[in-house]
Amino acid sequence: MNYKIKKIINKKKKYKIVCLTAYSKKIAEIVDKHADIVLVGDSLGSVLYNYNTTRKVTLEMMLEHTKSVRMGVKKSLLVIDLPYNTYRNKSEALKNSKIAIKETRCDAVKVEGGVRVQHIVRHLVQNKIPVMGHIGLTPQTIKGKFKSVGKTEREKKKLIKDAKALETSGAFAIVLECTYSDISKKISNLVKIPTIGIGSSVYCDGQVLVTDDILGLTDAKIKFVKKYVNIKKVINSAILKFKHEVKSKKYPTKKYSY
């Protein structure tokens, strides 16, 4: 087992795990200084390409962005999302996972689903492909409006089954997206592998958010998104200064000319 993955597993119930997304080298370099896990998420579909669904994201897109991120990640565990329709069966999942790891030198892949994909997770792990699971709200397969999961007893039982299925199949961690606090706490106490929450309460073993969201680069109006800075204002201010200096002939001076 990869020593970085062992390190993540050993943080269970001891230290909170920090996970953030990155889609390019420059952002990855900064995130890598502070995160335990850097995720190249298929969220890049909406963040970078303005898609209304992650289903439009291709494996080729994921590979190119992960190659860039790899150049900026030195210490963190690097995980790549396998996009929609790239792990429909065991052979397809293994083939695409091998491509991802060979071409990007990432440390692990992430797949969405619980019981539904347990045979795929097991197959990947048996072939030495580390897997992070993802249950609760699963953007690749959800139909209709995004909503929280785990309010009804039926949903809670399904979430528990999904979490157990991923654990027994060999996943090293599970993302819990938009699951209610009580079930997030129960699952986190039930499984021996770390849970990484996104909109799923402080009871998870770690937290993940989209870096562009916390920087205020997106217009995401989602309950669990906290914006820690409005970087758009900073960018606007810099561009405005450049514009004024160009128009007033203050730029470029001799210092910035050959």
Q: Residue 68: what pLDDT?
A: 98
Is 177 an annotated catalytic residue?
A: yes
- Expressed as residue numbers, the domain containing 84 is 3-227
| pLDDT tens-place string over residues 73-104 | 999 999 999 999 999 999 999 999 999 999 99
What's the domain count of the chain? Answer: 2
Residue 73 sits in the same domain as residue 194? yes
Residue 239 and residue 209 share a domain:
no
Same domain, 207 and 218: yes
Kindly report which listed range (23-37, 134-148, 164-178, 230-244) carries the lowest average pLDDT score.
Answer: 134-148
The average confidence (pLDDT) of the chain is 96
CA pair distance 54, 34, nearest whole angstrom: 27
Q: Which of 60, 103, 167, 177 is catalytic?
A: 177
Instruction: For residues 230 and 70, give the distance between their C-alpha atoms in angstroms, rounded to a whole number.
Output: 26
| pLDDT for position 147 | 87
Buried b (16+ CB within 10 A) or exposed e, 80-118: bbbbbebbeebeebbebbeebbebbebbbbbbbbbeebb
Say what percent of the chain tops pLDDT 70.
100
At residue 258, the pLDDT reads 97
Cα–Cα dist 228/104, whole Å? 30
Same domain? For 136 and 254 the reply is no
Per-residue pLDDT at 146: 83
Are residues 76 and 117 located together in one domain of the fold? Answer: yes
Q: Are residues 182 and 199 in the same domain?
A: yes
pLDDT at 210 over 90: yes
pLDDT value at 207 more than 90:
yes
Could you tell me if 235 and 208 lie in one domain? Answer: no
**Residue, of 11 and 142, whose pLDDT is higher:** 11
Residues 251 and 208 in one domain: no
